[in-house]
């Protein structure tokens, strides 16, 4: 199966990565208070990956400790961001492909009958 490039997919995925890194950096720098929900924002930003790859990793015993991340925690969060960016890219790819089929060159024009 040949996968074509999608400029709309890139236009959605790249800003997602930038925003996710900015948001996760702020989330991990917060200290918390009486009620500490550290890591909840990371789980929400990377929700598609948490619902697929996250369950697989937790089943294997790899769980992120947001109080003491370490190198493995950062790698796992980075992987979740990249998997979610891929999901966002494929959503953009699907939208672009649908738009090209509906509004592509010659859309709406009547075609002459073939002999």
pTM for the full model? 0.78
38-62 exposure pattern, b = at least 16 Cβ within 10 A, e = fewer: ebebbbebbebbbeebbeebeeeee
The Cα–Cα gap between 66 and 40 comes to 10
pLDDT value at position 86? 92
Half-sphere exposure of 45 (CA within 13 A, CB side): 26
Q: What is the pLDDT of residue 65?
A: 73
Residue 66 has pLDDT above 80, yes or no: no
For residue 115, is it within any domain? no
Q: Which long-range contacts (CB under 8 A, 24 or more apart) does 26-35 make?
A: 28/66, 28/69
For residue 111, being part of any structural domain is answered with no
Range of the domain at 83: 7-30+37-100
1 in a structural domain: no
Residues 9-23: tens digit of each pLDDT: 999 999 999 999 999
Q: Has residue 91 got a pLDDT over 60? A: yes
Gap between the Cα atoms of 43 and 50, Å rounded: 7
Q: What is the pLDDT of residues 29-54, one digit of tens each?
A: 876 667 777 778 888 888 888 888 88
For the chain, what is the radius of gyration of the CA atoms?
Answer: 20
| Structural domain total, the chain | 1
Q: Is residue 2 in some structural domain?
A: no
pLDDT of residue 22: 92
Q: Is residue 91 a part of any domain in this protein?
A: yes
């Amino acid at each position: 199966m040949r996968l074509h490039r999608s400029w709309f997919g890139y236009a959605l995925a790249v800003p997602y990565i930038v925003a996710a890194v900015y948001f996760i950096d702020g989330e991990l720098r917060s200290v918390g208070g009486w009620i500490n929900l550290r890591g909840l924002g990371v789980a929400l930003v990377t929700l598609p990956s948490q619902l697929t790859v996250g369950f697989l990793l937790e089943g294997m015993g790899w769980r992120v400790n947001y109080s003491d991340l370490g190198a493995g925690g950062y790698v796992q969060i980075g992987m979740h961001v990249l998997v979610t960016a891929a999901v966002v890219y494929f959503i953009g790819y699907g939208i672009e492909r649908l738009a090209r089929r509906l509004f592509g060159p010659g859309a709406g024009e009547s075609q002459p009958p073939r002999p």
